[in-house]
Structure 1
Amino acid sequence: MYKLKQIELINMREMNDLVREQRHDLLNHMQIIYGLLKLKKYDRLEEYLLEFGKETEKLKPLVNTGVPEVDILLQFKINKALRLNIDVDLTIKCKIDNLKINPFDLNKILSNLLDNAIDATLELEEDKRFIGVSMFQTPMDYIFTIENSCKLLGKHTLNRIFEKNFSTKGTSRGMGLYIVKKIVEKNNGKITVDSACDKVIFTVMFPKN
């Protein structure tokens, strides 16, 4: 229980930090734009606005899963990844507002998986960094997949990846995926992991009934 509360607090702090960071950046940009206008430096202003436009193009459009808490989390995690020069592909093919799971639990699952994906891609060169997030449904299940580029994972690691205290990141780690699996199973779901050459894929399934 303590670990779960700790994860919630970390996510809340992270979201708050990102909001403040984006607000601070926007205020700085507006001050510079206003200053260039006052100085009538129109050529410099045009250059600055073009650069600002390129930066804002990196931000993905608002996420819409049908669950506002999940939308907010995904938006922040995606923007965080983009700021770290990680290529992100988001595919939402269904709304999940009928999914029978507490949004807090779902956010704990997604947050852990996305944080792990970000950490893993940061070990690679920038042109190899990739995270893919998808949500879709079958007649029986809601399915989430989170995949990311990474260094090659051995079979031993994959077989133990959900074990308590098992980690490839050193000591005092290894609770995240263990907790994720516990939350998934508590909600009658199933989580699997697969690896192919230069990427790892986590698949989470929740029954509709």
Structure 2
Amino acid sequence: MNLKKIIRLSFLINILQILLIIVIIFYINYAPSQDMFLLLYGSAGLTTFNSMLAVVSYYFLIAREDRKDVQETIQNLENLNATLREQRHDYLNHIQVIYGLMELEEFEEAKHYMEPVYEDLLKVGKALKTSHPAVNALLQAKMQKGQNEDVSVYLEVKSNLKDISMEPWELCKVLSNVIDNGFTALMQKENMRKLYIDIGEDQANYSFYIYNNGPVIPPDVLPNIFIQGFSTKKEEGHGMGLAIVKKTLEKVGGSIQVDSNVDKTCFTILVPKV
């Protein structure tokens, strides 16, 4: 049974509960006590079933989100592997060109040729600094997404995350949701879109600062963005991402908070070391 069917069934049972309550109120002064007893038990049964259905709906949605996150992690790893293979092939060609230019003593031309090649190498190198291939693949995927969507992504990795107290795919779920939230906010700007990802550590925690120069989050919205089901978007499926992020972090003793002003919106994530 898919999520839409579960929600529709839950709605139908709620309607039946309301009708039962109306019938009970009507029968209070007229129905025999035995009939009244059956009505009360029927209402209690429907209420219990509907509560169980709500729990099933929630865990069905969580399981669906987890499957999607694992699939996304696998896809990111495959994309990173493909990127590295392409770069290895391209760099062999670049070396041949640079060697040829130097043989011809075209040193200035060789320098100009090397600059974009070096920049391309640095972009991938920045995303390969942690000890978790899945996280490296995610960071590389988000940097590529920035290029595709005209967003300047600045990545600073000052920790290898070796002793983090989360499974790599769960960390990817957390980072992906928050980073994508930044991309969505930046789409409201016409130009000069900037997204920063700063990863570090202290003695007790790993820190992730993810901030952007998008529009300020209104004060009346800010306290609610980690509440399950809350969303400023109307499309089906929104309103779960940041709530799931918060729950995932709290499960390992981590935390997330957000600050927003006219200059930037910053999500601060802390994850304890093992």
* CA contact 2:252–2:272 (8 Å) conserved in 1: no
Shift of the alpha carbon at 1:84? Answer: 1.7
Q: Do the aligned partners of residues 17 and 65 (structure 1) sit closer, same or farther apart at CA in structure 2, a change above 3 Å counting?
A: closer
**Equivalent residue, structure 1, for 2:253:** 188
Where in structure 2 are there 5+ consecutive unaligned residues?
Answer: 1-62, 90-111
Give the % identical residues: 32
Measured in 1, the distance between the counterparts of 2:79 and 2:212 equals 24
Shift of the alpha carbon at 1:12? Answer: 4.3
Q: Partner of 2:231: helix, strand, or coil? A: coil
Shift of the alpha carbon at 1:79? Answer: 1.5
**Equivalent residue, structure 2, for 1:159:** 223
Map Cα deviations across residues 128-161 of structure 1 (whole Å, 9 max, x no partner).
Answer: 2000001111122111111112112111111000
The structure whose residues are more often helix, as a share, is 2
Normalising by structure 1, we get a TM-score of 0.77
Normalising by structure 2, we get a TM-score of 0.60
Q: Partner of 1:78: helix, strand, or coil? A: helix
**Equivalent residue, structure 2, for 1:41:** none
Q: Do the aligned partners of residues 13 and 123 (structure 1) sit closer, same or farther apart at CA in structure 2, a change above 3 Å counting?
A: farther
Measured in 2, the distance between the counterparts of 1:124 and 1:186 equals 35
* CA contact 2:73–2:169 (8 Å) conserved in 1: no
The structure whose residues are more often strand, as a share, is 1
Identify which range, 184-193 or 8-17, moves more after superposition.
8-17
Q: Which amino acid aligns with 2:123?
A: K
Q: Residue 196 of structure 2 is aligned with which of 129, 132, 154?
A: 132
Shift of the alpha carbon at 1:11? Answer: 5.1
Q: Greater CA radius of gyration, 1 or 2? A: 2
Shift of the alpha carbon at 1:179? Answer: 0.7
Measured in 1, the distance between the counterparts of 2:264 and 2:129 equals 26
**Equivalent residue, structure 2, for 1:5:** 67
Residue 226 of structure 2 corresponds to residue 141 of structure 1 = no
Residue 141 of structure 2 corresponds to residue 76 of structure 1 = yes
Q: How many residues matched?
A: 194
Q: Partner of 1:108: helix, strand, or coil? A: helix
